[in-house]
Structure 1
Amino acid sequence: MSTSENAATYFVDRHIGEGRGGNIAYRETFGARRQLSYGSLADESGRAASALLRAGLRREERVAMLVLDTLEFPVLFWGCLKAGLIPVPVNTLLATPVYDAILRDSRAAGLIVSTELLPVVAPALAGNPWLRQIIVIGSGEAPGTRSYDNFMAGTSPMPAVAAQADETAFWLYSSGSTGKPKGVRHVHRALKATADTYGRNVLGIREDDVVYSAAKLFFAYGLGNAMTFPLSVGATALLYNGRPTPDAVMTILADDKPTIFCGVPTLYAATLAQLEKNAAPPPCPFRLCISAGEALPAQIGQKWREQWGVDILDGVGSTEMLHIFLSNRSGDVVDGTSGIAVPGYEVRLVDDSGTEIGPGSIGELLVRGASASEGYWNQLDKSRTTFEGEWTRTGDKYEMTAAGRFIYCGRTDDMFKVSGIWVSPFEVEQALIAHPAVLEAAVIAAQDEDGLDKPKAFIVLKGHENISAIEAELKNFVQEKIGKWKYPRWIDIVPDLPKTATGKIQRFRLREGNR
């Protein structure tokens, strides 16, 4: 990095001196279609830093950001870093009690909230002993809050404060695929570490790229896609503050023509299902498509390639590692696998005793790399079991092939044995999704009349098939595809599956509802 070591210096201010001040850093889709150049981003984030300090917020205090994907998000995120404050982007899809818990857990001294989200978070503000400043973006305020325009008025841009590379820069709260979200702390150098590894070696991100991430900025995958990687080279990122439905996404692809599209398996599947009902996909100059959040079923990758003529580079990352560390890459895609380690990372599989295992066996995936979190906030026991020296436990079960590629099997808590043999929920789900009537599937362990574990499937159908007939058909389909003992003994047809904001299926909620 530069002399400062502050990540904002590298990702924002550096571009001015290197002649990219006129490049467009962000462009909003739909609506007013506002845009922000690198010069304006440097200026506005410097003004935001001044405003935050003027408001009485002090270095290293937390500032919760309940902000939609609009231009204000990058301005305020980088503004916090420039001021030496710690931004805490928060999931915009949560309920009031969860916001209350996060605000109190983080002890945020400041809250910045988009006006559309104010009604949900407002009940959590009363009686909070830590909040001193509440800023509302957009029209509408509440008692004890101030408008963003008023907050920013009359400020001059300040340079980024000096920061150490290993100084805490920001927090992210984990998506909660296994339960209560945890505060994950990241340091300044972690951002550049992901740009130098995945951004450079897998994406090959370029200054002329236009990136659209359907995954939102408030979690690690979206933050890397639309903040870290484009800003590492002076490229452009598209921002959409609405829900990324297949219709909305296809409109963005047609109108804004991104060269890199970042999605999640659920969205890829839903978009393909939409295309089955309609005409050909709109023309788009894709250079790359990537996927994370949950393993991508092989048939989704194959169908996407048939429709768009471009591979989906499936990979796996985590909030704890900040972005993707295991991935397929251009010219080296094997559908149904998570690929190989991204240059700059090391991975290994271990059994339940912690012994490293080789190809053909199923074990927990551990990863080592410079982007690892420094730990969870106020959860020492959990930090000690997740972060083992330089290695981070992912909680994911994988199998490594003889060729060194990794095949996802499921979360550690999701795996179970049938007749003494490990069953991967993801393998059964892939088999079910391969049936033309199935849109989505989730598999858990359920006990039969003898108290033995057997697979149970929850299915979302594409249409209105004969349910009694489709259940028997799916059971036979799975038996023929992957094995007699792996087929789901029970099938529940449901309208949708519980998911995190990243698209991860929350199987623990299905297990809880099945007790």
Structure 2
Amino acid sequence: MVESSGNAAYHFVDRHRSSPVGDKPAFVECGPGGRTLTYNALATQSDRMAALYDRHGIRREDRAAMLVLDEIEFPVVFWGSLKAGVIPVPLNTLLSAELYETILRDSRARALFVSAALLPVVTPILASCPQLEAVFVIGGDAPEGTLSFADELARSEDRPAVAVSADECAFWLYSSGSTGQPKGVRHVHGSLKATADTYGAQVLGIEEGDTVFSVAKMFFAYGLGNAMTFPMSVGATTVLLSGRPTPDSVREAVDTFSPTVFCGVPTFYAAFLAALGDERPAGFGRLRRCISAGEALPEEIGQRWRNLMGVDILDGVGSTELLHIFLSNSPGDVVYGTSGRAVPGYEIRLVDDAGGDVGPGGIGELIVKGPSAAESYWNQRSKSRSTFEGMWTRTGDKYERRADGRLVYCGRTDDMFKVSGIWVSPFEIEQALIAHPGVLEAAVVAERDTDGLEKPKAYVVLKEPGEAADIAGELKAFVKDRIGKWKYPRWVEILPDLPKTATGKIQRFKLRTREKETA
């Protein structure tokens, strides 16, 4: 017999119904007129999603795409879909119409929930997605051919959650595309609770009294855990910012809601520190925990944040395929410049090209075994077989194991290269560059010299663009002094910004492509 509690919506939503936290805000929105959604209201509204789907012929295991900003309708649609047995597919809100068309056609979504502000982006491609049968508009007028989500939900009746196994597919996430086209990653119901029971409880230490603010958006794995899974697992409150997280908008949110838990990515921490100068926001008076993921956190950024805020950043490593962080620094055990140790509940190995274990001082690919691994990639059998190897998942990241067991990030497998026969870590060079007071961001890729040999090339974003004229030579010398003469970038190119995914990951493959195009 299938247990109804196998449905993740039971643990995260219905378990709180009429509990001591039932009338407590689960989500609060930033800005004038920002709305509040309590745990009881979320339970009731998500109950109605099954009837909404029934009326429009959307059945169990059908896909429903979510192009939804961080607003209170996001958790209603997500958890309501799980209750109905429909597969929600949250989408990156910053993609092009062309990519949305690719994803909608790939997923064969029969329904699309879209925030009104994003509707103009997808309107031109809706006609070319014939499998899409219903478009629900959130927070605005519904043009002809679309439906008002608020009206449709109001017409719906409460329905209990469908009984499912914890091993049943619950939702999809599309990978961020840091190395190319996004891939549909399929996750089961049990994975959500697994991340809450491991990282959420045993590293982050989430508590009922916490107020959480995540710069990372809910459409991707890191933000989904930060803003939904972890706080909802204990009845905490999440602050939602629907707009772009700039230093100004985030500071306003912080000063208004005084979060106790702050979740960011390295690029935002760097930009926020640059904007703050030496001023600590008043709203961080209750701050007790900060975390970072998406890319490795430069040591310089972590130290500057701790000095200003008085709270360490717990730098960790996660992936869409593992749903959240599986390798991390932890409270009271932070060493900046490292990714820490395995999160309780996960096992990690570093392996060489032959699959053998790499010892201390060696560099190998990180593979992970844990309870939140995805089921597979959608319609990519070869990629699924090469990534999900039995109980182990290949991350595609290269790490060095220190003598104390901590892991130091070296780069993506595709980013690593050798100089004079020795592996070079682009991230090590990038950290050295970021330590220069004039540098805001840096990315390093391999470039061939006139002899056809690979050497480091740096792309740098400056804090003050006017300094570009004389800084290249200074940066080369700076890196030589910090990490060694043979590792310095032979070329330094100043850019106004670096290509990134919406999750803040630098797309180094675009920089490599840039080199080929300009050669």
Scaled to the shorter chain, the TM-score interval is: over 0.9
Q: Does 1:475 align with 2:483?
A: no
Task: Find the aligned partners of 1:365 and 1:466 in 2 and give their Cα distance.
Answer: 39
SS of equivalent residue, structure 1 residue 333: coil
1:456-510 CA-partner distances (Å, limit 9, x unpaired): 0000000134323211100000001001111001111000000011110000000
1:181-213 CA-partner distances (Å, limit 9, x unpaired): 000000000000000000000011111000000
The amino acid that maps onto 1:493 is: I
Letter in 2 for 1:342: V
* Counterpart residue number, 1:508: 509
Matched-pair contact (CA < 8 Å) for 1:88–1:170: yes
Aligned to 2:308: 307
1:282 pairs with 2:282 = yes
Deviation at 1:17, TM superposition (A): 5.0
Structure 1 counterpart SS, 2:5 = coil
Question: For structure 1, which runs of at least 5 residues remain unmatched after alignment?
Answer: none
CA contact (8 A) 2:259 2:283 kept: no
Bigger mean CA offset, 17-26 vs 361-370: 17-26
**2:398 matches 1:397:** yes
TM-score (norm 1): 0.98
Aligned pair 1:205/2:193, yes or no?
Answer: no
Query: Amino acid of the residue matched to residue 232 of structure 1?
Result: S
TM-score norm. by structure 2 comes to 0.98
Compute the displacement of 1:279 (Å): 3.7
**How far, CA to CA, are the matches of 1:233 and 1:467 in structure 2?**
49
Aligned to 2:422: 421
**Contact in 2 for aligned 1:2/1:9 (Cα 8 Å):** no
Work out the CA distance in 2 between the residues paired with 1:20 and 1:476: 57
In 2, distance between residues paired with 1:138 and 1:281? 31
Q: What SS does the aligned partner of 1:356 have?
A: coil
How many angstroms apart in 2 are the aligned matches of 1:414 and 1:217?
Answer: 28
| Partners of 1:281 and 1:307 within 8 A in 2 | no
Greater Cα shift, 132-141 or 470-479: 132-141
Question: In structure 2, what is the Cα distance between the partners aligned to 1:468 and 1:462?
Answer: 14
Kindly report the root-mean-square deviation, in angstroms, between the aligned alpha carbons of the 2 structures. 1.2
Moved more, 457-466 or 187-196: 457-466
For residues 292 and 236 of structure 1, the distance between their equivalents in structure 2, rounded to whole angstroms, comes to 21
AA paired with 2:471?
I
Q: Give, as a single letter, the amino acid of the residue that structure 2 aligns with 1:299.
A: E
Offset from partner CA, 1:437-474 (integer Å, 9 cap, x none): 00000000000000000000000000134323211100
Partner in structure 1 of residue 49 of structure 2: 48
Distance 2:66 2:4 in 1: 28
- Determine the C-alpha separation between the residues in 1 that align with 2:474 and 2:47: 61
Q: In 1, are the aligned partners of 2:351 and 2:365 still within 8 Å (CA)?
A: yes
Q: Using the alignment, how far apart are the partners of 2:262 and 2:140 within structure 1?
A: 32
Kindly indicate whether the alpha-carbon contact (under 8 Å) linking 1:53 and 1:83 is maintained by their aligned counterparts in 2: no
Report runs of 4+ in structure 1 exceeding 4 Å deviation. Answer: none
Distance 1:68 1:76 in 2: 12
Identity %: 65
In 1, the alpha carbon distance for the partners of 2:256 and 2:139 equals 26
- Give the partner amino acid of 1:354: G
Separation in structure 1 between the aligned mates of residue 344 and residue 28 of structure 2, nearest angstrom: 31
Deviation of residue 49 (structure 1)? 2.6
One-letter code aligned to 2:42 = L
Question: Which letter maps to 1:111?
Answer: L
C-alpha distance in 1 between matches for 2:61 and 2:32: 36
Gap runs ≥5 in structure 2: none
Aligned to 2:348: 347
Summarize the alignment of residues 241-280 of structure 1 with structure 2, pairs less than 5 Å apart.
Answer: 241-276=242-277, 279-280=279-280
CA distance in 2, matches of 1:281, 1:119: 36
Give, in whole Å, the separation in 1 of the partners of 2:427 and 2:109. 38
Shift of 1:142: 3.1
SS in 1 for 2:157: coil
Q: Quick one: distance in 2 between partners of 1:140 and 1:111?
A: 15
**Partners of 1:252 and 1:149 in 2: how far apart?**
26
Aligned length: 514
CA distance in 1, matches of 2:164, 2:513: 45
Assess, with a 3 A threshold, how the Cα gap between structure 1 residues 3 and 131 changes in structure 2: closer, same or farther. Answer: closer
